[in-house]
Amino acid sequence: MQIRKLLLVTLLFTFGALVQDARAAACSDRTSENAMWWSILHPGVGEWYLKGFGPLSNAPPRKFWLGFIPGYGWPGYLQVKSAIDSHKCKTNDSLTFE
């Protein structure tokens, strides 16, 4: 129970900072804020949204498939990483912060 509370507080803090600084930067014809929320739904979907969805090959494969692992993908590290990347209009498949 304590881990869930800590995770929730961490996610709220991280996304709160992102939303405060959000100017809804345009990533082609899509907004980074919408992409961020797609990534909160599932890792990799925000980057897939930025690429115009289409076939699954447009989604970053490592983020998307690893996103099904509880605690690592959803909710967890990859969810935050993907949300930050898509908010910055990045569509890479890197799993580390650079």
> What global pTM score does this model have?
0.66
72-94: per-residue pLDDT in tens? 888 888 898 888 888 888 888 87
Give every CB contact of residue 27 below 8 A, 6+ residues apart in sequence: 35, 50, 89
45-72: per-residue pLDDT in tens? 988 898 888 888 888 888 889 889 898 8
Tell me which residue of 6, 28, 13, 4 sits closest to 83, measured CA to CA: 13
Bond into 55 cis (ω within 30): no
